[in-house]
Amino acid sequence: MADAKKSEIRKIAASKTMRKLMADHFYELDRAVKEGHPKVAWCTSVGPAELLRAMGFLVYFPENHGAMLGATRMATETIPAANAIGYSPDICSYLTSDIGAFLQKRTPLRDAYKGIEAIPEPDVLVFNTNQCREVQDWLAWYGRRWSKPVLGVECYKGVGEVTDVHVAGIAGQFEAMVPALEEVSGQKLDIDRLRETVRLSRECSDLWKEVLETAATRPSPITFFDSTIHMAPAVVMRGTQTAIDYYRELLAELKARIDDKVAAVEGERLRLYWEGMPIWGRLRDLAMLFLELRTCLVASTYANSWVFTALDGDDPFRSMARAYTELFIVRSDPHKEKYLEEMVKTFSVDGIVFHDSKTCPANTNCRYGMAQRLQERLGVPSITIAGDLNDLRCYSDEQAKTQIEAFVEQLA
Amino acid sequence: MADRFSLGLDVGASAAKAVLLEGEVVRARSIQRSGADFAAAATACRDDIVTKAGLATGDIEHVVTTGYGRRSVPFATSAVTEITCHARGCYAGFPRAITIVDIGGQDNKVIVVEASGDRRNFKMNRKCAAGTGAFLEEIANSLDTPLSSLNGLAAQATGDVKLGSFCTVFAKTELLKLIAEGTPLPEIVKAAFRSVVMRIVEMDPLEGDIVMTGGVVAYNPVIVDLVSEALGRKVLVPDHPQCTGALGAALIGQDR
């Protein structure tokens, strides 16, 4: 059972900076739509954001909005509206909650940022199916709605080693979308600007990686729950100096915590890995539960997904292609298992929590025996929590709590 | 004197169960309906226990609660999950490597215990009541048959009628078809029992010695026979299968 003594989540001071940056991000997009410039591009979270930014677009990430719908628990109210127009409750609940919110004329942006009434209407929508096929359907819906062009990259799946063939295939698709993007933006691609954007994106990625790696320290200065919040600039601002400055500030704070032996989870006694999507609507509840159990979720595949070590300003198209194909989600099960094995060792993990996310099979890795194989090979025990990223109808608080408490009782 | 008594309270979705230990000896047991008030059900269990044992409530030093209502008992001294308590309670009766199958009111659990008594892993059913006590309650309602008569009816069946659906609602639709076809009631009930067994065997390979616990097993031994048949070997059942969680909680209380 969780300790009766109530614990408090240790606040990260840099959060204040991040909140301002996110506000600036959304106000800038809102202003662009109202004033008609610069052009706005929607982009999937691991899509070619650098290319869009280098071509002068402001970039909006619908998955970020999906996460906000989940975290505010607005999603559970908006999903049925999308279901009603033929988008099944079994498909991505980012998609259904976002389209449902649009149909209901709702957005958490309105509550968070005074003066913003709606999500920013795009001039172009760009997807990369490296995350899943749903992103294509998602952006296509808005493309039809607003009669705006939808461009995309069809990614490989189940990739073992990323070869030159993969890289050439994806880089070719990036290059092929340039003329269409130039037509929308009204300006030619400046390759030097792209090189600089990719360089900035790489620097942001390296700093984000360093932030996440602070959790290898015992006790960890950061939890998975912190990282789901503080990854936002890496998602929506990579390719800008602003994101780099932010992660320098955050990293300095975490290094100071390490020096002062300040733990994110007071009295940390167990260290777990989270595999799968966050349960956005229950982040705080779960953070409190793990805190009271003195158990730190030190690392996750999810937060690591915005680490792009292959990005190289000298070779922008090919390095973007490699970086966006090296992603965990694109890879084969043997590669994923090897990756998780490294994570278990790097972060001295006692066990793994697999989240079986009902509507996100692409980010669910426990449906083909992986948990059992890892336990057999590494002796790392695990549990599987049934839930969902946004649709709380698929999640049982009590059952999840019992499983987590029982797992901690088993490991402690 | 007082510290010799340990009360384990398993406040489950359907029933509250209590076991009072004096040292290693079980002094009393109690089972009450949980209803809508977990605290009241736990209190009723405790009061029944102290009456049976001829004690005062103050004589009990440790009250360890478990089950879904474990945090709702104001007089609890600590709370532990039912996973841990079932493992402890079963291992007390079968001190060797065992795999526990607990069929509860609203969830099923498979718990693998090492020969040392340490827990290796556990699984719970997905967020669905198919294959649990709640499923059988639904079936009994649909058939307008008392829950307590299901086992007797299933024991009379000789055929091999099956239900194919995962889902309780779809299974009930299948029942309608069986009723429409004139399938005898005992065969329909046994088909529902087979459905419960299918939900169990698909949770885990169920290796080694299997111990079955829970209220469903306590009142429906035909289900144990069907699991034995499915696994091709005899399944073990403790003397009081509904009370193993409470026993485990009481034993944990003794350790504290």
C-beta of residue A246 within 8 angstroms of C-beta of residue A338: no
Q: Can you give the pLDDT at residue A4?
A: 42
Q: Can you give the pLDDT at residue B127?
A: 67
Domain membership of residue A28 as a residue range: 15-193
**CATH code (residue A117):** 3.40.50.11890
Residues of A in contact with B78 (CB under 8 A): 1
Given a cut of 70, the residues of chain B with pLDDT beneath it are 1-3, 127
* Nearest CB to B122; choose among A1, A398, A406: A406
Residue with tokens 């005992």: B186
Measured CB to CB, residues of chain A less than 8 Å from chain B are 1, 356, 375, 381-384, 386, 394-396, 398-399, 402-403, 405-406, 409-410
Q: Can you give the pLDDT at residue A1?
A: 44
Q: Percentage of chain A surpassing pLDDT 90? A: 97
d(CA B251, CA A402): 20
d(CA A254, CA A259): 9
The verdict on residue A262 lying in a domain is no
The verdict on residue A232 lying in a domain is no
* Nearest CB to A399; choose among B71, B122, B124: B124
DSSP of A242-284: HHHHHHHHHHHHHHHHHHTT--SSTT--EEEEEES---GGGHH
Residues of A in contact with B84 (CB under 8 A): 406, 409-410
Instruction: Say whether A40 sits in a helix, a strand or coil.
Output: strand
The verdict on residue A62 lying in a domain is yes
Q: One-letter amino acid identity for A58?
A: L
Q: One-letter amino acid identity for A89?
A: P
B172 vs A245, B105, B163, B189, B199, CA distance in Å? 60, 18, 9, 11, 16
* Nearest CB to B78; choose among A1, A382, A405: A1
Mean pLDDT value of segment A251-275: 97
Q: Torsions phi, psi of A124, nearest 5? A: -155, 150
CATH class of the region B2-83+244-255: alpha beta
Evaluate whether B2-83+244-255 and B97-237 have a shared fold.
yes
Whether residue A116 is predicted with pLDDT greater than 80 in this model: the reply is yes
Q: Can you give the pLDDT at residue A202?
A: 98
Contact A406 B120 (CB under 8 A): no
Instruction: Say whether B132 sits in a helix, a strand or coil.
Output: coil
Contact A1 B84 (CB under 8 A): no
Architecture of domain B97-237: 2-Layer Sandwich (3.30)
State the complex-level ipTM. Answer: 0.88
Find the radius of gyration of the CA atoms of chain B. 19
C-beta of residue A288 within 8 angstroms of C-beta of residue A397: no
Q: Percentage of chain A surpassing pLDDT 70? A: 99
d(CA B55, CA B60): 8
The verdict on residue A374 lying in a domain is no
The verdict on residue A290 lying in a domain is no
The verdict on residue A331 lying in a domain is no
How far does B80 lie from chain A, in Å, by closest CA? 5
Q: Can you give the pLDDT at residue A3?
A: 46
C-beta of residue A1 within 8 angstroms of C-beta of residue B64: no
The verdict on residue A140 lying in a domain is yes
Q: Round the average pLDDT of chain A to a whole number and report it.
A: 96
pLDDT single digits (tens) B114-125: 999 999 899 988
Boundaries of every domain in chain B? 2-83+244-255, 97-237
Instruction: Say whether B98 sits in a helix, a strand or coil.
Output: strand
The verdict on residue A176 lying in a domain is yes
The total number of structural domains in chain A stands at 1
DSSP secondary-structure letter at A331? B
Residues of B in contact with A381 (CB under 8 A): 120-121
Beta-carbon contacts of B195 under 8 Å, excluding residues fewer than 6 positions away, are B130, B131, B135, B162, B163, B165, B171
